[in-house]
Amino acid sequence: MAQKTALIVYAHQSPGSFNAAARDVAVEELTSQGFKVTVSDLYAMNFRSSTTRDDVIGELKNPDLFQYGEETMLAWMESRLSDDIVAEQKKVEEAELVIFQFPLYWFSVPAILKGWMDRVLTQGFAFSLQKMYNHGVFKDKKAVLSFTTGATSSMFQPDGINGDINVALWPLQNGTLHFCGFRVLAPQIFWGPAHCPAGVRTAMLAGWRSRLKGLLAEPPLTFAPCELFDLSFQGGFLLRPEVKEELAPQRYGITTGHHLGKPLPPDNQTKAPPTDN
């Protein structure tokens, strides 16, 4: 049997951080399970976050108007992307599990990790209009966000001051990971470790280690499949009328994003649905 493979994309400046400890737990536990684990330590690598002309080797298709997405797609097709992008794309290709380890910055990922997503997940390599969402390029891979917050869990409740964490996670989990086809696992959220006693932090890491033992067997989060939509420019990529009619009596919307003016389905971006045994 082929060796199992995992990639950890890690974004924290300090080797003494809780994020570093969470990364180390993942490396240790997955390695003990027989995984080949690769870590992309973005700060240590000085990974460039900005999307520029330097990402394309050789001539541009349109030098008078640089369009990053179009030029990098063509460069990917012709093997003309910069070496650092190619190296990361090869890691993604090899991995069946990708873990993103980071501190939550302004309800999102740190700039260096956003730059990794912008530069590595190029059109063609990671997605196309024919290969997106549940038909996406990475539909045979799993991904999980593992991150720390500076806030407590109560602050990210629907009635908390920061609002519903499910809303904050929707752009990352649906708009980036699921869009590229990843089967997205429930996020691993470490609530405010900097404000917790040492014993609580130790328990958090123990819980992460325990979860990692069965991570690949977990069911993914649910998203609205492409089959529910009219996938044409004429149809506007909108939910098909008969689907809307069928869903009309239901109490909740389909997903956090496709709420259809109804209450958001509870925990849609934080918990996988129960499975029938």
Q: Can you tell me the mean pLDDT for 32-61?
A: 97
274 is a domain residue: no
The range of the structural domain enclosing residue 93 comes to 5-222
Q: Say if residue 211's pLDDT is above 60.
A: yes
Domain count, the chain: 1
Three-state DSSP at 251 gives coil
- Stated pTM of the model: 0.95
Give the pLDDT confidence of 240-269 residue by residue, as tens digits: 999 999 999 999 999 999 999 999 999 999
243 domain residue, yes or no: no
Residue at 258 is within a domain: no
Tokens representing 238 are 């909108």
Is residue 188 in some structural domain?
Answer: yes
Domain membership flag for residue 136? yes
Q: Say which range, 74-83, 110-119, 134-143, 227-236, has the weakest mean pLDDT.
A: 227-236
Three-class DSSP category at 9: strand
Instruction: Calculate mean pLDDT across residues 62-79.
Output: 96
| H/E run at residue 37 | strand 36-41
Residue 274 — pLDDT band, cuts 50, 70, 90? confident
Q: What is the CATH number of the domain that holds 78?
A: 3.40.50.360
pLDDT at 276: 55
Instruction: Compute the C-alpha angle 100/103/106, nearest 5°.
Output: 115
pLDDT of residue 145: 98
The pLDDT of residue 3: 86
Residues 6 or more apart whose CB falls under 8 angstroms from that of 262 comprise: 250, 251, 252, 253
